[in-house]
């Protein structure tokens, strides 16, 4: 019975995600889903990304967290359309919640929607949100073994960001080991080592993202099985 219930939940989620993607495609709006563990620097990376991306197109943000709106409050200074979702203990966002958030946005005025998912490396990967682009973010203090220990995220992502490289001299982090695991899981995955705090490596990430969301065609075939 539990397995049947889980399958039913996933089917309902994936159906709603497909509907959302079709709706966004019709409106020519691209949606990005940022996934990473707590403390990886998701919000800081989003802040630095908004500084440039919001100057090129109208951006909206859906900010997911278990409790509080603190991350959403950090982003208010950008003046973008912003919706905060508290999951009340759930370790991920689901497509119906994203549908409710999108209803609060004026999509006719938006080119890109960015979702900051709940901090977790496992659960968010399982739930398609109707996004066109999954960003996997890890950080140096978490260790170089994250791709090997959490392969589903790096397999599903279209791009990976390794944040906080400015801290590498103070750790035993091995970029070679990190990248070796990453390549064994997803050989062609673009990887951007950077520091959102110091801006080291940030331009390469921003150049890639700008080209991907403003120039590249919509990927209308994404699904939770991709």
Q: What is this structure's pTM?
A: 0.92
pLDDT category of residue 30 using cuts at 50, 70 and 90: very high
- State how far the Cα of 158 lies from the Cα of 164, in Å rounded to an integer: 20
| Alpha carbon distance 143, 61 (integer Å) | 29
Closest of 107, 135, 131 to residue 121, by C-alpha: 135
Total length of the chain: 226
Nearest by Cα to 114 from 36, 182, 30, 184: 30
What are 84-142's pLDDT values in tens digits? 999 988 899 999 999 999 999 999 999 999 999 999 999 999 999 999 999 999 999 99
Q: pLDDT of 186-221, one tens digit each?
A: 999 999 999 999 999 999 999 999 999 988 665 555
The pLDDT of 67-84, averaged and rounded, is 95
Tens-digit pLDDT profile for residues 132-188: 999 999 999 999 999 999 999 999 999 999 999 999 999 999 999 999 999 999 999
Question: What secondary structure letter does DSSP report for 129?
Answer: -
Give the CA angle between residues 140, 191, 144 to the nearest 5°. 30
| CB-based burial, 147-167: b 16+ in 10 Å, e otherwise | beebbebbebbbbbbbbbbbe
Q: What would the mean pLDDT of 17-26 be, rounded to a whole number?
A: 97
Please check the confidence at residue 226 and state whether its pLDDT lies above 60.
Answer: no
Percent of the chain with pLDDT over 70: 92
Q: For the chain, list the domains and their CATH numbers.
A: 13-214 (3.40.50.300)
Confidence band, pLDDT 50/70/90 cuts, at residue 6: low
Q: What angle do CA 77, 130, 13 make, to 5 degrees?
A: 120
**163, β-bridge pairs:** 139
Q: What percent of the chain has pLDDT over 90?
A: 88
Q: What is the mean pLDDT of the chain?
A: 93
């Amino acid at each position: 019975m539990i397995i049947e219930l889980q399958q039913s939940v996933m089917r309902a989620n994936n159906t709603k995600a497909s509907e959302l993607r079709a709706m966004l495609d019709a409106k020519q709006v691209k949606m990005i889903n940022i996934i990473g563990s707590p403390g990886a620097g998701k919000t800081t990376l989003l802040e630095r990304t908004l500084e440039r991306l919001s100057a090129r197109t109208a951006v909206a943000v859906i900010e997911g967290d278990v409790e509080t709106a603190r991350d959403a409050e950090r982003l208010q200074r950008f003046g973008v359309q912003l919706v905060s979702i508290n999951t009340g203990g759930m370790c991920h966002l689901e497509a119906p919640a994203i549908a409710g958030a999108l209803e609060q946005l004026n999509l006719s005025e938006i080119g890109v929607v960015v979702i900051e998912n709940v901090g977790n490396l496992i659960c968010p990967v399982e739930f398609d949100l109707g996004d066109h682009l999954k960003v996997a973010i890890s950080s140096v203090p978490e260790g170089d073994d994250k791709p090997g220990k959490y392969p589903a995220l790096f397999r599903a992502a279209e791009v990976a960001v390794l944040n906080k490289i400015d801290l590498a001299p103070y750790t035993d982090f091995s970029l070679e080991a990190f990248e070796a695991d990453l390549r064994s899981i997803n050989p062609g995955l673009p990887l951007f080592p950077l520091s959102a705090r110091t801006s080291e490596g940030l331009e390469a990430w921003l150049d890639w993202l700008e080209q991907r969301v403003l120039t590249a065609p919509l990927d209308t075939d994404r699904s939770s099985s991709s």
